[in-house]
Structure formats: C-alpha cells, structure tokens
DNA sequence: AATATTTTTTAGATTTGTCTAAATTATTTT
DNA sequence: AAAATAATTTAGACAAATCTAAAAAATATT
C-alpha cells in the first residue's frame, strides 16, 4: 500500500499530536497543517475508510495500529534523510528539516534500507530524535527535561522538543545544540526560569517556555 | 520559479525527444509519457503560457531557451541522484533510474549543489550520460555508436541510448555495461548485425536493433 | 482532386485535495 | 437550563491533471 504526499503529511501530523494517550481534534490538526478544518474533516473520512484512523464524527481521533505503522515508516524516512543531510552533506542542524520534508515522500523501501546501511544504522537523528528501524522499533534515550535535573550536574543535550524557527533561533543564540554539555546552576521559582552554564562560559538565563523543550541525558563515557 | 512534478516530467520528456533540431509531435510525447494525446495538448498550452515552449497548434513544438534551462536542471538532479545511488548506496546499474525519477523532483538548489560536492563533482552518471553543472554546461565524450566503428579496435562502452528493462536484460545477458571494453569482429551486411568480442571470451552476435544504442569511446590511458 | 486515414484539438467529465459559507453539534457562560 | 460561543461537519465550488468522445485539421491514398 502506498499513500499520497498529502495523506502522509496528515498521518505524520496526527502521530505527533497524539501523545501516548490523548485524542486529537480537528482544529489542532488544522492548525498544525495550516489547512482549513473542513479540509481536515474530508481527509479524516478518507483515512478512516483506509482503516488508518479510529474516528467518529465530533469525537476526535487517533491513529489505528496500521496508521501508527505507516507513521513510523514516514518518520524513519524523514529522520534518516535528516541524518544524511547533516552528517554527509554538512547541512547545519536547523536547515535539514525543510529538505527532509520533501525527501521523506520518496517511497522505495530498498532506497531507505540501503541509505540506513550507508549511514551505519544511526539510532538518533541530528535533533536527538530516535530513528525507527525497518520494523518500526525505536530506541529510547533515558532522557529528562532540564527543568527537572539536579543543580550543578553536567549533562548532554539530546533532544529539542520544539523545532520552530523561533526556538532554534534562541538556542543558536545561546550556543545550545544536540551534544552540548551544560549544567543548571540555579532555578528561580518566581518564573521557573533557569540559570545555565556551558563549560566555563558566562552563565545565562533560559525562560521556562524554552527550558521545557530542552532534554538531556547522562554523559556516556567513551 | 518552480514547476509541478507533472510539468517537470513533460519538460524532461520533450528535451529527450527533440534532438538538436527536430520538432516533437503530440503523439510522440503521449507515447513517451503514457498519457492520452488530449492530456498532452492541455499541458502544451500551459507550458506555452509559461514561455517554456515554442508551440503553434498542429505544428509540433520544441522547448524555448528557458525551457531548455529548466530541462537541464531536472536532468542534473536526476543524474546526480543516479550517481549517488550507484556509487554510494551500491544500487545496480539497472535499478537506479526508477528511484532517481522520484528523487529528481525534490527541489532544493542547495541540496543538489551540496550533493554534487559530496560526490566529487562527477561529470558522467552510471549510464555514461553527462551530468550538467550548476550553469547547465554538459561535458561531452567523443563517443560513437558501435555500428560505425572500425573492426578489431577495442573500445570502451560509455553510453546506452535505450534504457528499457528489455534492453538492459539483453546487455546484462551479454555482460555489457558502462566501462566494458569490447571490439567489433565482423559486420553482417545482410541484417546489419555485429559480432562482438569482450576480452578473450567467445564472440557473440548483437542485432542492429540493440547495437544502434551501444556507444563507445576511446580507451583513456590512465 | 476527392476521399480516407491519421493526428491533433476541443468540449465536457472525473479525481484529489483544497476552499468558503452555512448548518449542525458540543461546550461554556450566565 | 437556556443562551451564547466554539468546534466540527456538510454542501457546493475550484484548480490541477487526467480521461473519453467528438470535431477539426493535416496527411496519405486512390
């Protein structure tokens, strides 16, 4: 079975919006995809008849098992291309997403499996997100948000949960990227902002809005 | 300016059909693209309004200067991807075309220029066809068809002018691919077939229909 | 040169994915 | 609980790219 670019974009967006539990609403999806709610309803009907979606009128929706499998395939393609662009073509971290959005819709299983092999079966993309394998299995970092880690422990940034241009701008400004080692020096309970230090540099402040999206893991001794 | 996948496929097909001189007809293009002639006429009108085509009703057509530039851009993308698939992902010679057909429609100038660099600015794809550079310039082999080369001179296959599955099947059967060194031992004027020998192997016969599409160049001393 | 055949174009329909405007259902407020 | 507001769906339209069937133009045949 193969799906149109448009169907794939809907499936991917639904996957990202539905967490482990919750339902997704028409308006959320319409905002995410920048289409009108009426268009979303049309597509929902279509995906339902293809059994990719559990959906009843006015009730919200989630991907079915089959839908989730399809989503993982798309995400696999997206993240492998991101890895390729970053690692091999030397695109910068914040440029890869847009191009990968196009490449992910090229459907050839052989292409993706050979690309995976060529890249050395990477398990995480340049944003720190896990890359599903051929069977849809995804590795997991034991990762935590910097809002909850103990003070004065150096850890390594491994994931950024919001990849809008605005967010990437702030992170770039503060020299934070995947792999950056940092520690939280102080928490301000008034606004939940954090004082961060990278290496021996001058510490700086991160608002809660930003901090919520920055995740770290233990430093792996190599 | 950017063009739909469909427009790009028409432009590319017209480029291939129009040689250096001749006009292309609606039926030829319809056969090439496996669409109905009526659909071709619709697209011709559209490409004409976009000034990519010199076209008058019932008169046949050719690409305009602008159209040719667009075509060279598409061909550049196609052939760079073919090179990538063959060289880096180890696809076999006869598998690359189909996948490259999809990849060629990903439009990011930066992607293509970085890919070009990553591949070491190759000048010929795995089929021996030249890859246009950023400016649309194409290198040319001094190549000739095996139907016209002198007897008993070993030369190197550098191009196959027909890349259908049927053709590739015959070539594979006879162990001919880009880079193969062969000589013509005899010409049979009755049916214009050729007796070919590769190295010290047993000679074999190639029909004119096949031979017409096999091109060779002088062996470069390295 | 008149007729037959082939090629090309026109006219109108279809599919996919989108839209606007209006109607319906659900949720929130008073 | 009724009214107001918000979310969702329906109905009908549109653009892109295709199709079929019929008309028009070009070419070939007798």
Per-residue model confidence as pLDDT tens digits over B185-215: 998 988 999 999 999 999 999 999 999 999 9
β strands within chain B, DSSP E: 53-55, 61-63, 144-145, 155-160, 181-188, 193-197, 204-206, 214-217
pLDDT of residue A128: 77
- Give, in Å, how far the C1' of C21 lies from the CA of A50: 29
Choice between B222 and B209, residue whose per-residue pLDDT is larger: B209
- Quote helix, strand, coil % in chain B, to nearest 5: 40, 15, 45
Q: For all residues of chain A together, what is the average pLDDT?
A: 93
- Say whether B118 and A89 touch across the interface (CB within 8 A): yes
Nucleotide minimizing C1' to CA distance for residue A45: D9
Residue B106 Cα, gap to closest chain A Cα (Å):
6
Please say if the pLDDT value at position B148 is more than 70: yes
Residues in chain B closer than 8 A to A99 (CB atoms): 106, 108, 110-111
Whether the Cβ atoms of residue A184 and residue A149 lie closer than 8 Å to each other: yes
Nucleotides of C under 7 A from a protein CB: 7-12, 16-22, 25-26
Q: How many CB atoms are located within 10 Å of the residue B121 CB? A: 11
B111, B112, B118: best to mutate for the A interface, most A CBs within 10 A: B111
Q: Which two tokens stand for residue A49?
A: 């008849």
The predicted model gives B216-222 an average pLDDT of 74
Residue with tokens 């795995």: B126
Residue B144 pairs in a beta bridge with B216
Which among A99, A108, A118 has CB closest to B108?
A99
By C-alpha distance, which of B118, B78, B120, B114 is closest to B99?
Answer: B78
Confidence of residue A181 (pLDDT cuts 50, 70, 90): very high
Highest mean pLDDT, choosing among A67-76, A135-144, A209-218, B168-177? A67-76
Give the CA B159 to C1' C15 distance in Å: 40
Answer yes or no: do A89 and B106 touch at CB < 8 A.
no
Contacts of A102 in chain B (CB under 8 A): 106-108
| pLDDT score recorded for residue A126 | 79
Compute the distance between CA of residue A74 and CA of residue A9 in angstroms, rounded to an integer: 9
For residues B52 and B64, the answer to whether their CB atoms sit within 8 Å is yes
Helices A65-87 and A5-17, packing angle to 10 deg: 100
| Closest CB from A90, A111, A114 relative to B114 | A90
Predicted TM-score of the model (pTM): 0.78
The reported pLDDT for the residue numbered A221 is 57
Q: CA(A39)–C1'(D14) in Å?
A: 14
Q: For residue A7, which nucleotide's C1' is closest to its Cα?
A: C17
Strand partners, A118: none
Q: Which of A217, A183, A219 is nearest to A203 (CA)?
A: A183
User: Do the beta carbons of residue A191 and residue A131 sit within 8 Å?
Assistant: no
Answer whether B110 sits within 8 Å of A90, measured CB to CB.
Answer: no
pLDDT reported for residue B142? 78
Query: What would the mean pLDDT of A33-60 be, rounded to a whole number?
Result: 97
Q: Are A119 and A80 in contact (CB under 8 A)?
A: yes
Q: How confident is the model at residue B150 (pLDDT cuts 50, 70, 90)?
A: confident
Q: Residue B222: is its pLDDT beyond 70?
A: no
């Amino acid at each position: 079975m193969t799906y149109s670019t448009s169907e794939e974009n809907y499936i991917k967006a639904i996957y990202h919006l539905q967490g482990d539990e919750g339902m997704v609403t028409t308006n959320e999806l319409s905002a995410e995809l920048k289409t009108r709610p009426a268009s979303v309803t049309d597509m929902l009907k279509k995906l339902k008849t293809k059994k990719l979606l559990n959906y009843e009128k006015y009730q919200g929706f989630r991907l079915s098992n089959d839908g989730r499998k399809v989503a993982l395939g798309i995400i696999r393609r997206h993240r492998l291309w991101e890895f390729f662009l970053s690692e091999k073509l030397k695109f910068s971290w914040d440029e890869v997403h847009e191009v990968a959005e196009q490449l992910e819709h090229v459907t050839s299983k052989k292409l993706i499996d050979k690309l995976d092999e060529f890249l050395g079966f990477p398990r995480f993309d340049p944003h720190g997100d896990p890359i599903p394998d051929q069977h849809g299995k995804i590795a997991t970092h034991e990762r935590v948000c910097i809002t909850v880690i103990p003070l004065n422990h150096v850890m390594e940034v491994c994931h950024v949960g919001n990849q809008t241009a605005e967010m990437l701008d702030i992170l770039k400004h503060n020299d934070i990227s995947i792999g950056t080692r940092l520690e939280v020096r102080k928490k301000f309970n008034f606004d939940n902002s954090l004082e961060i230090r990278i290496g021996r540099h001058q510490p700086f402040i991160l608002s809660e809005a930003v901090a919520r999206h920055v995740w770290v893991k233990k430093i792996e001794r190599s």
